[in-house]
Structure 1
Amino acid sequence: MDWVAWHDAYDDPGSALARRLGWVQQEIRTVLAAAPPGPVTVVSMCAGQGRDLIGALAGHPRAGDVRARLVELDPANVNRAREAAQASGLGGIEVVRGDAGLTDHYLDLAPADLVLACGVFGNIPDAEVAATIDACAALCRQGGAVIWTRHRRPPDLVPVICSWFETRGFERVAVAGIGFGAGVHRRVVQPARARPGVRMFRFTDRSGSRPQEPSVSNDFRPRGST
């Protein structure tokens, strides 16, 4: 899978991916607008080129408050995300190359105000979707939100995903379902205890292969470390 070329569909306004991106960006803006004054922390799994968060922050009055970590394995996409963040003047965005399926990348920002799991649930087995939602219960603060996506092809897992969130201390805020699946769930109880070294998922491309991922990327250093 060429994960750089995969992003080309976002440039076609008639594509389902472009419509999904617009929906996700709008929900990100809504979450940011409702966040209390002060820093807003965001973590993004399998962030790709960062189009969802970086695009949503363009011109947003809270853009300067955002401190975000985007985790992506593909080096070309990592570079494009870094370039886009820099070009947009978003100094609070950190893009790291690494295995997004490990909790280690997010713990020093957890529990975050916003967790992005976009482009993840359609590429991992159902059991790993559930494991990722379990982890989100620790990665997301009380009152924070998780924005996620999943295709609606049979068997449609979106209703099950909603149920999994809602039995783990989240409430449903919004679910999209015309041509694509996406949702927003808000954490309504205190976050669970975050644990290092937890494997949430291992990304699978459409061929069914799983890339050999480093356990912890050389690019990753928790903030404040040397």
Structure 2
Amino acid sequence: MDWQAWHDAYDRPGSTLARRLQVVQERIREALDGCPPGPLKVISLCAGEGRDLLPVLAGHPRRDDVRARLVELDPRNTATAANVISAGGLHQVEVVTGDASRTDHYEGMTPADLVLACGIFGNITGEDIERTVAHCAMLAATGATVIWTRHRSAPDLVPRICAWFEERGFDRQWVSEPGAGYGVGVHRFTGRPYPLVPGRRMFTFVGYDELGSGPRA
């Protein structure tokens, strides 16, 4: 899979990814609106070109309060994100080119006030989804928002993903309707975060083609 070319679907009006992106951005905006005053930390796993977060942050009143880290493996995507950051004057946002599944990349940024796990759950096994959800209790601060995505193609794991979050101290805030054509979920962490343990792998990126689940959404 060419993960840079994959972003082209965002630019096709009406595409599933374009519609999903709009929803994710709306939920990010709402999460930032609801954060208490003061400095904020945001982390984005498998951030791609940063299209989920960067356009929202550029025009948000809290932009100067936010310190963010985007972690993405494809250097072409991180180069694009870095250009957007520079052009937008988002000097408190950093981009890391690396394996987003490794907990090491989030040292110094946890517990975060907003965690983005978009474009991941459709590309990893169910076991790894549950493992990643469990690690969100290390990544997220008490009261933090986690925004995640997963396609609704068979097997539709969205209900199970919600249960995995809720079994671990996350309250469901919002989940897209099954007929929307994509899955977006928002959970708020009400528990106490665990200390981040470096050196752990949260998931192994398999790819939706190998999982036989159709285009990730």
TM-score under structure 1 normalisation? 0.90
Q: Is the 2:48–2:77 contact (alpha carbons within 8 Å) kept by the matching residues of 1?
A: yes
Aligned-pair Cα RMSD in Å: 1.1
Question: Are residue 158 (structure 1) and residue 155 (structure 2) matched?
Answer: no
Q: Is the 2:124–2:208 contact (alpha carbons within 8 Å) kept by the matching residues of 1?
A: no
Offset at 1:115?
0.5
Cα distance in 2 between the residues matched to 1:196 and 1:208: 29
Cα distance in 2 between the residues matched to 1:19 and 1:52: 12
Offset at 1:191?
0.9
Report the counterpart of residue 215 of structure 2 in structure 1: none
Report the counterpart of residue 120 of structure 2 in structure 1: 120
- Structure 2 vs 1, CA of residues 5 and 88 (structure 1 numbering), >3 Å: closer, same or farther? same
1:151-178 Cα offsets, whole Å, 9 max, x none, are 0001100000000000001000010131
Counterparts of residues 31-46 of structure 1 (less than 5 Å): 31-46=31-46
Report the counterpart of residue 49 of structure 1 in structure 2: 49
Report the counterpart of residue 5 of structure 1 in structure 2: 5
Offset at 1:204?
1.8
Structure 1 runs (4+) greater than 3 angstroms displaced = none
Cα distance in 1 between the residues matched to 2:40 and 2:21: 21
Identity %: 58
Cα distance in 1 between the residues matched to 2:84 and 2:164: 34
Counterparts of residues 1-226 of structure 1 (less than 5 Å): 1-177=1-177, 178-208=180-210
Q: Is the 1:107–1:139 contact (alpha carbons within 8 Å) kept by the matching residues of 2?
A: no
Offset at 1:57?
1.3
Partner AA of 1:81 in structure 2: A
1:97-124 Cα offsets, whole Å, 9 max, x none, are 0010011111211000001000000000
Partner AA of 1:104 in structure 2: D
Unaligned ranges ≥5, structure 1: 210-226
- Matched length: 209
SS of residue in 2 equivalent to 1:197 = coil
Offset at 1:197?
0.9
Report the counterpart of residue 212 of structure 1 in structure 2: none
Offset at 1:37?
1.0
TM-score under structure 2 normalisation? 0.94
Cα distance in 2 between the residues matched to 1:86 and 1:184: 29
Cα distance in 2 between the residues matched to 1:118 and 1:144: 16
